[in-house]
Structure 1
């Protein structure tokens, strides 16, 4: 803009610029609406608009293609059972042949415990972007899933050497997995740490009630040195510096030694940003072989030896059966969190309002019945979801058979799932 212009000239130029931007925005909206219609349904004015502005039309077509590609990546796809069985056989062989198997887990391993994922159709971030509310609930109601228990068993049998988790729900710890074999990169909702002496304290409730992004003080004091305690959660935009429970040292050692990496239930959009976890310092031919189990597209699909589009629990059931291993049921009486937990001091009893984890029953028969009910609840939820999905698939197939002679797609969107499956709270953690 010329320095010789008067103030009124500059104001008029700014007004004209704003007007042009508004006109272009309106024109783009009109073109976008016109392009959404079939050619024969467009009005004369819409046809003239498309003819008069070819550059804007091309730009909107490119934008539309990008939006469609993003939506397609967000779709949850379950492959046909025949393909899944064939891929599980390949996965079984990979597990047996692996000399050092590391497992990376994401929110998808916990969805069967009614803990939501983040980028699924009904995930936390997806709902927030749509302006929809995320219902509140108690994470203390969640128990380790089939996948958690299967991984703990595989570690005990020497088939899995280390697990790197993005989850903060503490379910890997509660499954009985050794803490030395676990890296919780984004923290653990049951653990708080002293800001001075580093003393680590396990609780039987979610310690993050008063914390948030760059606000980590929990309001309780260290029983060793009386300094303030902080949570261990790593939020988006933060860098985790705590030694435990993040255990980055263990994760990096495992990544360097790994010849096979199995990713379960993770979009990998966060983990891909950690090149040290993928052996990028190695030449391409000597990097760990990558296997992925996830319902959605991941940015690592192209690098994977095998990608299975299925639910983690379903795959782990088939995998363990072919490995000849029994998946142990979750037993609250053997949950190590109850042995690790430090009770609150009398003056701290009112420092939180979160529900405590239900204590294990001392009655063995009662405990077995409680565990049986817990497993039955998870199984019933899974069965209900699968039954609904199958019935809707059959209905869709029937309609398509009538119209198209039986052509049937295996793509499944979240609408075919039990809508209550992910109906759980937002607790602001990474994925």
Structure 2
């Protein structure tokens, strides 16, 4: 049934072969008449398209034979479109196939001498509802984040390279030296004026006022009084900060790696699929849960009261209290009180920072 698309091409070829003089003599308007004729032909094509091969007339069969080259070309084009469409579809392995692949993965993890994990946005999406969240500090480390930290503690993973800005690897307990956050961390602002890069880890998203090529957060360094900047690397920018990007650590880990596990990339086809020894089509939490079972390891549970960010953070000074309108991360017992106070100061809901989404435009509050 793929041949129908070619009929329009055949008819159109006949139309454009008419001489300009004949079109003038017949008073055919070039813009209106030809398009009208072509539209009529398309209508006939659509009628033919609904016919089965047995219902085609002799004239229709002869017409197809005359356009055989075009028919073959259209078949090839349709085949390519179908392949491309399939590549854009998200695929999930059935439960048995998923278990089979995870067993192969567990064997690779056990045998690895230097394993590196690369992570993308897919490992974080279950940690918060993108469509409903008003502040990404509401997100918490997922089962996948916690499993990665456990694998590191068991010396099965040597380094983690992430393109996520959400700081959830840090909050899951993964050590700074074992982590490269190539696109920055939404909780970290730095002073680049000090001779040694000075970091300030906060309990809120520091990117409220920042966007592409505009990284000043509005707060000042406690030592040199220089303006602090966020650590986010937007699309089109080059990340030059030593931390939290840690490019040196990522490069060293890649050179030593004998196994690289990519998590949270895509369930669709990618151009690099053929380079992978194993591709698993499954949700990250499902895959990591099965992997931990195969490795006889307990799946750790995130405990907000023990979130390491509380011990690493620098508190705001009194004069900085009004420098942001983000919700604070706080232990369960005090978080409700702090966030209620924060909301009363805001007078409106928070907006997403400039790094969220494309990262090329600053979040703004909607006008009433």
Contact 2:122 2:265 in 1 (8 A): yes
Tell me what 2:344 maps to. none
Mapped contact 2:128–2:140 kept (Cα < 8 A): no
Q: Which moved more, 1:192-201 or 1:151-160?
A: 192-201
Secondary structure of 1:99's partner?
coil
Contact 1:28 1:56 in 2 (8 A): no
After TM superposition, which residue ranges in structure 1, 4 or more long, deviate above 6 angstroms? 20-38, 50-64
Match of 1:343 among 310, 315, 322: 315
* Unpaired segments ≥5 residues, structure 2: 1-29, 52-59, 335-351, 360-368
TM-score normalised per structure 2: 0.72
Q: Is the 8 A contact 1:28 1:60 kept in 2?
A: no
Shift of 1:360: 4.4
C-alpha distance 99-347 of structure 1, shift in aligned 2 (>3 A): same
The match for 1:77 is 91
CA distance in 2, matches of 1:74, 1:23: 39
Q: Give 2:217's aligned residue.
A: 218
- Are residues 60 and 155 of structure 1, via their aligned partners in 2, closer, same or farther at CA, if it must alter by over 3 Å? same
Task: Kindly provide the CA deviation profile for residues 344-370 of structure 1, in whole angstroms up to 9, marking residues without a partner as x.
Answer: 1112111111111133448xxxxxxxx
The residue matched to 1:151 in structure 2 has which SS? Answer: helix
Question: In 1, Cα distance between the equivalents of 2:229 and 2:37?
Answer: 52
Which one of the candidate residues 108, 117, 128 is aligned to 2:122? 108
Deviations 1:45-74, CA, capped at 9 Å, x for gaps: xx9xx9999999999877766655444333
Question: 2: CA distance between counterparts of 1:358 and 1:88?
Answer: 36
Deviations 1:297-342 (A, max 9, x none): 2222101111110001001001001101101110112211111111
Once the two structures are superposed, the pairs formed by residues 109-188 of structure 1 within 5 Å of their partners are: 109-114=123-128, 137-188=134-185
**Change in 2 beyond 3 A, CA 1:317/1:222:** same
Per the alignment, residue 236 of structure 1 pairs with: 235
1:40 matches 2:50? yes
Partner of 2:24: none
Q: Secondary structure at the match of 1:308?
A: coil
Assess if the C-alpha contact under 8 Å between 1:168 and 1:429 holds in 2.
no
Contact 1:233-1:429 at 8 Å conserved across structures = no
Residue correspondences, number = 304
RMSD: 3.8
Give the gaps of 5 or more residues in structure 1.
1-19, 42-46, 117-133, 268-294, 363-423
Q: Please give the alpha-carbon distance, in whole angstroms, between the structure 1 residues aligned to 2:96 and 2:201.
A: 44
Match in the other structure for 1:427: 356
For the residue of structure 2 that corresponds to 1:150, the secondary structure is: helix
CA 1:175 to 1:429, structure 2 compared with 1: closer, same or farther past 3 Å?
farther
Q: How many angstroms apart in 1 are the aligned matches of 2:33 and 2:110? A: 63
TM (norm. structure 1) is 0.62
Structure 1 pair 348/259, CA: closer, same or farther in 2 (3 Å)?
A: same
Pick closer, same or farther for the CA change 1:71–1:331 going to 2, 3 Å.
same
Number of the residue aligned with 2:271 = 299
CA separation of 1:301 and 1:194: change in aligned 2, threshold 3 A: same
Equivalent residue for 1:358? 330
Paired residues for 1:190-339 under 5 Å: 190-197=187-194, 198-267=197-266, 295-339=267-311
Q: Once the 2 structures are TM-superposed, how far is the Cα of residue 137 of structure 1 from its aligned partner?
A: 2.3
